[in-house]
Amino acid sequence: MTELRNLFKLAVLIGQYFLYRLGRKKPPEVARYYEPGLAALDFLFGWSRRMRIINGERCPKGGPVVFAGNHVCLDDPFAMGTAIFQLSQGGIRPHAMMRDDFFRGLPGWIRRIIDPDEVTRMIGAFQISRQGAEPAQLKPFIDLLRQSHAFLIYPGRSRTRSGLFIEYRDWIHSPGATSFFLAQAQEGYPEVRVGAVPVVRTFNPVKKTSALIFGAPRYLPPGADRSAQREFDYRLVVAMSDMVEINVAQILAAYLYLHCLHGLPGVMEAAVIRNHLHNIFGRISRRHVDPAAFTDLENEIRLTLRFLGRRGMLRVRAGGVHLKRGAILSVPRTIADYRKRNPVKYLANQILHLSDVVRAVEQELG
What does the alpha-carbon distance between residue 261 and residue 266 come to, in Å, rounded to a whole number?
A: 11
Whether residues 76 and 215 share a domain: the answer is yes
In single-letter form, the type of residue at position 89 comes to: Q
Structure confidence at residue 366 (pLDDT): 76
Whether residues 169 and 77 share a domain: the answer is yes
| Sequence-separated (6 or more) residues with CB below 8 Å from residue 267 | 320, 321, 322, 323
Structure confidence at residue 202 (pLDDT): 97
Structure confidence at residue 237 (pLDDT): 94
Structure confidence at residue 85 (pLDDT): 96
Whether residues 236 and 256 share a domain: the answer is no
Report, as ranges of residue numbers, the positions in the chain whose pLDDT lies below 50.
Answer: none
Structure confidence at residue 175 (pLDDT): 73
28 to each of 23, 127, 259, how far by Cα in Å? 12, 20, 57
Q: Which of 205, 223, 241 is the last residue of a domain?
A: 241
Whether residues 295 and 354 share a domain: the answer is yes
* pTM flag (> 0.85): yes
Domain that holds residue 252: 248-365
Whether residues 218 and 354 share a domain: the answer is no
Structure confidence at residue 351 (pLDDT): 97
Whether residues 84 and 205 share a domain: the answer is yes
What does the alpha-carbon distance between residue 154 and residue 175 come to, in Å, rounded to a whole number?
A: 9
Whether residues 271 and 357 share a domain: the answer is yes
pLDDT digits (tens, 9 = 90+) for 302-324: 999 999 999 999 999 887 999 99
Structure confidence at residue 123 (pLDDT): 87
Total domains, the chain: 3
Dihedral sign computed on CA atoms, order 237, 155, 157, 163: positive
Whether residues 260 and 305 share a domain: the answer is yes
Q: Which of 203, 221, 241 is the last residue of a domain?
A: 241
Structure confidence at residue 172 (pLDDT): 66
Whether residues 71 and 193 share a domain: the answer is yes
Structure confidence at residue 171 (pLDDT): 66
Whether residues 171 and 148 share a domain: the answer is yes
Whether residues 285 and 305 share a domain: the answer is yes
* Contact (CB, 8 A) for 10 and 33: yes
Whether residues 70 and 190 share a domain: the answer is yes
Query: Pairing relation of β-strands 150-153 and 65-69?
Result: parallel
